[in-house]
Structure 1
């Protein structure tokens, strides 16, 4: 039986602009205003001019006093430029007081601590060892109780707003963002959660810019340099403050650290292509090909903090290397050696790095020089927070390498499992689908349930790399770093604001295959697009089928667990966060 089809125009990059309401007069006004009036128009391609970018990748937003722009913990793919008015960035936590509906709307995820540095709040040189910043997830108490929120309509939207703007601003520490200033861009570019809450303090106009537009605007050298400088002056400060090691550091020392820190990148941002080429190599060959960040036996020149991506912690063993762990965002390398040398007598030879650190694909890292660590970090860290002394180091300058076996304990992670996860890049998955093949009877109930839920076509395949009896299926893992999003020209593949799930908007997907070709795990497939009546869409000009991307959406529109997991009669299928190796090890070992 032939499949019914319908001829349509092939979708294009800007068929669905961020806003269809921008007038030519508004566009002309934007082009006459900085920073756009200062940009070199010749830097932009003819088919993606500056005017095209502003017309399609931006939208104008009018805000009333108190309107919530976004809140901390949400994911977002857009940045905001203040055209006029005043926006406030909250440095202390808001506690919503509203109807149950409002509270539910605000508490989809736990309220994280606001870690934007309160540089003006404490005097320079203050000893913070007795007044640490709050632990993640612990709310700061408001001086006069709770904050009241309300709802109001704005065009076709419903907005949350603060009901007593002057009172709230007087009781909370805030930072002002005025006309001509940009905010929210780091979360958009890095595909990470918002780091603060932004609220309109006055009536103001904002230009919302989706990250695809930001990427194109960075073709202008001055704009690109502005974003890079903003990272060093603003975002780096907050990244340090959210790291536990720096919670007691006085503000003047933080400024010295920010000024001296080196921002380094290792590997290729589009690492998925290289990974696919090298996935057939042996473990030792893969390790040898990974960019080296710091090498065991080398002089410990600084403290490394992972800003993005994953890094392999390993040590030489025999003719190869043994993986000890993988480090993700916020984790530290080199502290044991630097702390040991700091506490040693002045005449003692300094210890070199005891392990190696390598980039798995692509890593953004921050290196703080040893002298700065000794002067501005270690003096303020409590002894209980420092790692123990290295009484039996493998490497000492002028002495042979001690190739002793690792000391194992009940919490030691299976080395084979570690090697497998890193080689397959599975530590990137936040909701990986795993099947226990000892329990699975191959009944295919999971596949049937998936197909029933998704219009007759399953969005995962019951196959994939396997370690012992654990199969990691070809199903979207909703990654920590979803590299599938990098090349999408329309933003069709995106993170859900609240849950962080990676979703595909069928109406804006143009079938370019960028996400499917970028996914290192082959978890995105191109299928023939269909209309609302189930007819296959065919290109009117070429007669070829029109494709669109398809993948697991974690059954986000369905209440309860994903259909595949609910359908399994033997509890053989489960989802797990692969970024936490301790949880993975406990699950796999049955501890």
Structure 2
């Protein structure tokens, strides 16, 4: 062993368990409850037994009456099972200020200076990796803090008012949608009286679903039911329907999934750039076929295209909350003949859609809409599906903007860069290659920049290799410890250095190559190596968007030529403004 190497024990998945009080007695009690009682423990591999999953990937939380369990809009990393008491799901109507969302803590100017003064001269210096009990103690302290700072509503009936609510009883699971799809919570859940809930870290939920069909089927059923109802309530076309009409729509709506949930495993940028690549994408609806209703995008991205010459031309992309086929469905309802679809819709990766048949629209939706309102909706929808007008990620039409040319749109869609909510875009005509952005990033992050100033190019614009904090962060799918996850309030994807075991799963999963594995050192400069294999211990590093810095991303602030911006590439209005400045 070199004198500049120090042997330490490599971090393991369960060095920092999710809960601090899950002993054998608690696990025994859980195994007597549904859905764990019916699970076949022999179906789990010896390296991943069900008992260990329950012991390390779950924790029991107590909530006083009115305690907020999850808040609408927060990003979810776990599911919940009601053990005792009841939980109340509030679908709408609560004032956001009542939910107690805390602002993000930023470092002040003095703290930022102290951090720079104390920053080691060597890159990626860590304190010596501590004993496992130290990791557990840190985790216990964090969980305790979360428990102590819980927000609760003292007068729940008065606060709820006319809010639509659903009561969950012991044995029911909720929150799995946000946990598995890495999306914001769609409702607020409160404790109805005193309640005890089992919180399941999404890694444990995923592992149990992999090895038990019963749990997977149960969760999928919940996914269909909850996604359907919530999405239909949020769709403007259906928001004014009488309750009985809405129930008939709910009964006849079909839930569909297209593509692959782990699409990153087969994603190949070079192959996507070939002209014939578009026909290999999962076809959801085909141009020229009769319109048989509308499709509501629940999650994921879809390509909207039409025939052009001997191939296909990308017209736009559709994301969560957007609608396909509405104009044709309205025309079919108003006319005597069925209208054909004018575009094709294909899945970019994994897409969940809700299909409302034409007959259901004609019988239970359109009769409650005037011809004028239907014509207006059809016109707005037709505009929103072109690049003449740009549309933000939340599905609202923006003001008229300069046109996003088709090649730029295809560049973003084919490479799935529209997945990026905070992409680093560099205008190469303005960039002087001074590297001030790189140096600023290094000064903020352990003397090692968290991005590479190179990447895919379109004309004068380059998408640098920096974490884009994606709308669908597939890097989180395989992480065994939960070290990589979203910030609950902001959605920023961050890595917890304490629980990262250096397995490289996130780096290999990122389709854009924006996560790097780095060798770490101790304060003397010695490289830390595994005491068993004598190989260097690596840690995953990536852009954290300088979340704790007052001024925001250091790279953008340091650019002296206004050549660099962090941008949501799915927001075509914002992109159009920046491109045409």
What is the alpha-carbon distance in structure 2 between the residues aligned to residue 426 and residue 435 of structure 1? 14
| Aligned CA distance change for structure 1 residues 439 and 248 (closer, same or farther; 3 Å) | same
Superposed, 1:504-515 pairs within 5 Å as 504-515=495-506
Q: CA deviation at 1:529?
A: 3.1
* Structure 2 residue 13 is the aligned partner of structure 1 residue 21: no
Partner of 1:117: none
The answer to whether residue 97 in structure 2 is matched with residue 105 in structure 1 is no
Name the counterpart of 2:252.
Answer: 260
User: Is 1:314 matched up with 2:305?
Assistant: yes
Corresponding position of 1:235 = 227
TM-score of the superposed pair, with normalisation by structure 2: 0.85
Question: Which residue matches 2:342?
Answer: 354
2:369 match: 381
Tell me how far apart the structure 1 counterparts of residues 330 and 445 of structure 2 sit (CA, whole Å).
Answer: 55
Matches within 5 A, 1:514-533: 514-531=505-522
Residues 52-451 of structure 1 mapped to structure 2, 5 A cutoff:
52-95=52-95, 105=102, 157-165=148-156, 167-168=158-159, 172-218=163-209, 219-276=211-268, 279-280=270-271, 282-344=273-335, 346=336, 349-387=337-375, 411-451=402-442
Higher helix proportion (structure 1 or 2): 2
Describe the shift of the 1:42–1:449 C-alpha distance in structure 2 as closer, same or farther (beyond 3 A). same
- Whether contact under 8 Å (2:64, 2:193) holds in the other structure is yes
- Name the Cα RMSD after superposition: 2.6
CA deviations on 1:462-488 (whole Å, 9 max, x unpaired) are: 111111111110000000110111111
Residues 172 and 421 of structure 1: is their aligned pair in 2 closer, same or farther, counting only changes over 3 Å? closer
Offset at 1:489? 1.2
Q: 2:306–2:315: 8 Å Cα contact kept in structure 1?
A: yes
CA distance in 2, matches of 1:191, 1:3: 44
Q: For structure 1, which segment, 378-387 or 357-366, has the greater mean C-alpha deviation from structure 2 after superposition?
A: 378-387
Uncovered stretches (5+) of structure 2, i.e. residues with no partner = 106-143, 380-386, 390-399
Deviation at 1:172, TM superposition (A): 4.8
Please tell me whether the aligned partners of residues 297 and 351 of structure 2 are also in contact (alpha carbons under 8 angstroms): yes
Q: Distance in 2 between matches of 1:286 and 1:561?
A: 38
Confirm or deny: 8 A CA contact 1:283 1:419 kept in the other structure.
Answer: no
- CA–CA distance in 1 between the matches of 2:24 and 2:234? 44
Corresponding position of 2:46: 46
Alignment of 1:469-484 (within 5 A): 469-484=460-475
Pairs within 5 Å for 1:27-42: 27-42=27-42
Q: Using the TM superposition, give the Cα deviation of residue 384 of structure 1 relative to its aligned residue in structure 2, in angstroms.
A: 4.5
Contact 1:283–1:423 (CA<8 Å) still a contact in 2? Answer: no
Per-residue CA distance 1:248-267 (angstroms, 9 max, x = gap) = 22222222222222222222
Q: Deviations over 1:105-126 (max 9, x none)?
A: 2799xxxxxxxxxxxxxxxxxx
Shift of 1:38: 2.1
- 2:530 matched to which residue of 1? 539
Change (3 A) 1:323 1:96: closer
Q: 2:447 aligns with which of 444, 448, 456?
A: 456
| 1:149 aligned residue | none
TM superposition outliers: structure 1 runs of 4+ over 6 Å: 153-156, 388-391, 406-410
Q: Matched residue of 2:506: which SS?
A: helix
CA contact (8 A) 2:227 2:298 kept: no
Instruction: Give the TM-score normalised by structure 1.
Output: 0.83
Moved more, 69-78 or 368-377: 368-377
Q: Secondary structure at the match of 1:304?
A: strand
Which structure has more RCO (C-alpha within 8 Å, separation ≥ 6)?
Answer: 2
Corresponding pairs, count: 525
Deviations 1:304-323 (A, max 9, x none): 11111111111111112111
Partner secondary structure for residue 323 of structure 1 = strand
Q: 1:389 to 1:181 in 2, by over 3 A?
A: closer
